[in-house]
């Protein structure tokens, strides 16, 4: 059932990105080995489907929100109110998903996908690599990797995300474009884009269309998501990377440096402007996509790791300098 | 349609004689009501263009590598103190005080200079004459008298002139500043909700307004659907509110969009100062300033959109900021919707009407027909179904004459002025 959920999620998200008519297949969902020895209770199939529908809507909303937070070649400062509201929505979804255990499954799938996939060029527009670091270790048990995910030849999706950050905006830092060699990660929704998925999918399930239409309606209460609870209850991921607002920098090609400005910032560590240096200074972990970033949205409390703290304190310092310059 | 022509703010002045509009291209257009002439007693004064000027220009912030839009976010008139009119107009970062003065007379018959301005030879002056004032073509000039800049890190969303006529406040996403109209190099920060750690930011300021009579009181609304009333006498930094207005959430209608649709896009005090009105995505609420725990009246603007929130989130329409306004007597309120519809609610009779601002439906002197959106399965004739609404045609800005039943409605790049029917 876990696999079925993932397939549906990715397929729905994929259907949103591609024109209709792309076929999706669900018929082999029952044949896949189910982890943990869970059995699908045939009598509760209907209930499970309803829960899946809610989960799908929620997932779709999450995907949509993350895409909205993505910035590409922004000319004008984005609307802070809109960004805050979207980020709050994402946080809310993530909290709920963490509570019912869906979150862990998704992030596990991501790690498995990262491990299996090759890193190569992007398909979607690459914007920024996250200026952050994460703890690689996950203390909890690792579930079986999903069979479908583990194929080779799937183009890696380098979907990166940034969030306009007012503090960073104040600082006025611009980051250089990420180099293609940067490790990549997947959006779960992008699984469907992989040719390996396309090969397998032939039939189309009518249920999908119903669920897509349902997405427009208000989400119903989640109720007890017994399906997800049946899975291994994973310990919540304790990654403590920086949260959305502290993490992202505004991406813009830096204008040719003004000598006066250069002088002004001469004592600022220029490595800030070199994304690679920043990344190297951190633990080398596979870069993660927006979903991993979401981890940080839930953790308001935990203190960030030391280098990210220094990152932030320098940001505050630059912030302070900027305020003096601006005279506010 | 040119994007720069999209109207971004509409405001009547204190007498209602002038109506100012600002647009995305940074221009301000002021309309003046023609005096009712004796020749046509049945024709109310019409509004004609009085003055047009470029208030703000696009700027480039070199430090952030970002453009600063010239779009006029708000215009607020100052009370008239002499023959000239003054208004404040603001874009995202800079507020400007404009003086609009007109000349319709000129003096002739100077002693020291002749008609074309050249100085007369003093020996040629043999007699003294008194210059006379002769009418000339009216000339309206707008000049920027004050520029209030560099006080806002974030985007300015509101300005409000205080009842003392000496100060005004300006609010951005995280701060509210208080200015003196005469002093441009300094402002007092009176509200600051910026968290020490920007990562903890979950709420922003969406609107602010001064109380119409008490010059020490102002309110500001937030993206979480709350309103805080502050008293400037209490402390220099009004971080602690005097009153906190919030309606408890209805748990049965909770969804992932609850917070977004609760975000307040506009807050307006009634003329009396006893009430205030807030606009969130789906409704307008009237609050009694003496009751903080819930509004006294709630009006549904377009409840039929509640089942479409996901689509509206997808196309970003859910973030549209609608404004609202009171009529002069505080007995009616008006706000905009989609498909060029706008809604008016009578507070006394509880009746409401939906009208449309469009060229096809608005011939001069024609009476507007009430519109209806069909929500059920059956669509009656003349009704419009929710799915055929045009979400690109949104009425965000409306204004009501302070004394009469004259309203101004901005529909994208068109301005409609409607008046009460005269018998």
Residue B250 contacts A where some CB pair is shorter than 8 Å: no
Taking alpha carbons only, the member of B12, B92, B7 closest to residue B393 is B7
Radius of gyration of chain B measured on its C-alpha atoms:
24
The more confident residue out of B34 and A164 is B34
Residue A17 contacts B where some CB pair is shorter than 8 Å: no
Taking alpha carbons only, the member of A98, A187, A206, A191 closest to residue A147 is A191
The more confident residue out of A49 and B12 is B12
CA distance B172 to chain A (A): 10
Q: If pLDDT is split at 50, 70 and 90, which confidence band does A312 have? A: low
Exposed / middle / buried, residue B287 (Cβ in 10 Å: 0-12, 13-18, 19+): buried
CA distance A218 to chain B (A): 6
- Residues of chain B neighbouring A322 (CB-CB closer than 8 A): 63
Residue among B60, B61, B66 with most chain A CBs within 10 A, to mutate: B66
Q: If pLDDT is split at 50, 70 and 90, which confidence band does A3 have? A: very low
Strand order in the sheet with B18-23: B7-12, B18-23, B27-33, B47-54
Task: Decide if B209 contacts B228 (C-beta within 8 A).
Answer: no
CA distance A111 to chain B (A): 25
Q: Is 90 exceeded by the pLDDT of residue B20?
A: yes
The more confident residue out of B126 and B225 is B225
Residue B315 contacts A where some CB pair is shorter than 8 Å: no
Distance from C-alpha of A8 to C-alpha of A30, rounded to nearest angstrom: 13
Query: What DSSP string runs through B301-351?
Result: S-GGGGGGHHHHHHTTGGG----EEE-TTSSEEEEE-BTTEEEEEETTT--
Written as six digits, the tokens of A235 are: 């310990």
In angstroms, the Cα distances linking B112 to B94, B106, B271 are: 43, 16, 52
Q: Which pTM does this prediction carry?
A: 0.67
Sign of CA dihedral A253, A257, A258, A263: positive
In angstroms, the Cα distances linking A171 to A167, A236, A246, A317, B154 are: 6, 34, 12, 9, 13
- Residues of chain B neighbouring A58 (CB-CB closer than 8 A): 256
Task: Give the chain B residue whose CA is nearest to the CA of A296.
Answer: B199
Backbone φ and ψ for A317, nearest 5 degrees, come out as: -65, -45
The answer to which of A180-184, B100-104, B383-387 has the lowest mean pLDDT is A180-184
- Contact assignment for A84 to B203 by CB distance below 8 Å: yes
Q: If pLDDT is split at 50, 70 and 90, which confidence band does A115 have? A: confident
Q: If pLDDT is split at 50, 70 and 90, which confidence band does A43 have? A: low
Cα atoms in the Cβ-side hemisphere of radius 13 Å centred on A103: 27
Residue B316 contacts A where some CB pair is shorter than 8 Å: yes
Distance from C-alpha of B193 to C-alpha of A80, rounded to nearest angstrom: 13
Residue among B148, B153, B198 with most chain A CBs within 10 A, to mutate: B198
Q: Is 70 exceeded by the pLDDT of residue B220?
A: yes
Distance from C-alpha of A323 to C-alpha of A327, rounded to nearest angstrom: 6
Range from A21-35, A225-239, B28-42, B176-190 that averages highest in pLDDT: B176-190
Taking alpha carbons only, the member of A328, A323, A321 closest to residue A264 is A321
Terminal-to-terminal C-alpha distance of chain A: 57
* pLDDT at position B360: 79
The answer to which of A140-144, B77-81, B241-245, B372-376 has the lowest mean pLDDT is A140-144
Residue B156 contacts A where some CB pair is shorter than 8 Å: no
Distance from C-alpha of B113 to C-alpha of B122, rounded to nearest angstrom: 10
């Amino acid at each position: 059932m876990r696999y079925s959920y993932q397939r549906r999620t990715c397929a729905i998200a994929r259907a949103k990105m591609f024109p209709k008519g792309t076929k999706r297949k669900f018929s082999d969902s029952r044949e896949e080995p189910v982890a943990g020895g869970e059995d699908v209770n045939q009598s509760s199939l209907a209930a499970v489907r309803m829960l899946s529908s809610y989960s799908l809507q929620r997932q779709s909303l999450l995907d949509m929100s993350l895409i909205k937070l993505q910035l590409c070649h922004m000319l004008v400062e984005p609307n802070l109110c809109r960004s805050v509201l979207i980020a709050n929505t994402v946080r809310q979804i993530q909290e709920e998903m963490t509570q019912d255990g869906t979150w862990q499954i998704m992030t596990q799938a991501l790690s498995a996908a990262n491990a299996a996939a090759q890193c190569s060029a992007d398909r979607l527009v690459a914007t920024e690599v996250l200026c952050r670091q994460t703890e690689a270790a996950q203390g909890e048990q690792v579930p079986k990797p999903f069979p479908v995910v583990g194929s080779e030849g799937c183009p890696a999706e380098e979907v990166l995300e940034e969030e306009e950050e007012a503090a960073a905006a104040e600082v006025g830092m611009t980051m250089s474009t990420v180099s293609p060699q940067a490790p990549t990660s997947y959006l779960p929704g992008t699984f469907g884009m992989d040719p390996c998925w396309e090969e397998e999918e032939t039939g189309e399930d009518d249920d999908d269309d119903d669920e897509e239409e349902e997405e427009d309606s208000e989400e119903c209460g989640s109720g007890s998501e017994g399906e997800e609870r049946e899975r291994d209850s994973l310990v919540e991921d304790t990654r403590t990377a920086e949260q959305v607002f502290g993490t992202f920098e505004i991406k813009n090609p830096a204008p040719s440096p003004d000598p006066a400005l250069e002088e002004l910032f001469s004592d600022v560590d220029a490595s800030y402007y070199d994304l690679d240096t920043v990344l190297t200074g951190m633990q080398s972990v596979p870069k993660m996509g927006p979903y991993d970033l979401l981890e940080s949205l839930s953790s308001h409390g935990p203190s960030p790791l030391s280098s990210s703290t220094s990152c932030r304190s320098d940001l505050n310092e630059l912030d302070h300098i900027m305020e003096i310059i601006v005279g506010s | 349609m040119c994007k720069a022509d999209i109207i971004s703010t509409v405001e009547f002045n204190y007498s209602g004689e002038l109506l100012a509009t600002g647009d995305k291209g940074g221009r301000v257009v002021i309309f003046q009501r023609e005096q009712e002439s004796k020749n046509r007693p049945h024709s109310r004064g019409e509004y004609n263009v009085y003055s047009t000027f470029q208030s703000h220009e696009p700027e480039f912030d070199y430090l952030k590598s970002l453009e600063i839009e010239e779009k006029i976010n708000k215009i607020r008139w100052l009370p008239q103190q002499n023959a000239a009119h003054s208004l404040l107009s603001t874009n995202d970062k800079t507020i400007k005080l404009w003086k609009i003065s007109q000349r319709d007379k000129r003096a002739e018959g100077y002693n020291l200079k002749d008609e074309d301005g050249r100085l007369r030879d003093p020996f040629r002056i043999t007699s003294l004459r008194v210059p006379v004032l002769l009418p000339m073509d009216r000339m309206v000039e707008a000049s920027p008298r004050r520029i209030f800049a560099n006080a806002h890190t974030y985007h300015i969303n509101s300005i409000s002139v205080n009842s003392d006529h000496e100060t005004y406040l300006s609010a951005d996403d995280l701060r509210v500043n208080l200015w003196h109209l005469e002093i441009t190099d300094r402002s007092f920060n009176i509200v600051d909700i910026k968290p020490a750690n920007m990562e903890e930011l979950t709420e922003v300021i969406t609107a602010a307004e001064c109380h119409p009579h008490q010059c020490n009181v102002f309110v500001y609304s937030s993206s979480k659907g709350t309103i805080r009333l502050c008293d400037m006498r209490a402390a220099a930094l009004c971080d602690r509110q005097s009153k906190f207005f919030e309606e408890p959430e209805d748990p049965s209608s909770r969804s992932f969009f609850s917070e977004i649709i609760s975000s307040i896009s506009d807050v307006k005090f009634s003329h009396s100062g006893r009430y205030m009105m807030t606009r969130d995505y789906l409704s307008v609420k009237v609050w009694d300033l003496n009751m903080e725990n819930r509004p006294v009246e709630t009006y549904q603007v377009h409840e039929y959109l509640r089942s479409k929130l996901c689509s509206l989130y997808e196309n970003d329409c859910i973030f549209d900021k609608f404004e609202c306004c009171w009529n002069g007597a505080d007995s009616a309120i008006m706000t905009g919707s989609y498909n060029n519809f706008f809604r008016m609610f009578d507070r006394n009779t509880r009746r409401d009407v939906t009208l449309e601002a469009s060229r096809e439906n608005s011939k001069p002197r024609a009476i507007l027909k009430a519109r209806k959106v069909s929500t059920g399965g059956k669509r009656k004739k003349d009704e419009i179904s929710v799915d055929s609404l045009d979400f690109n045609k949104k009425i965000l800005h409306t204004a009501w004459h302070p004394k009469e039943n004259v309203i101004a409605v901005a529909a994208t790049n068109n301005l409609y002025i409607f008046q009460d029917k005269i018998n």
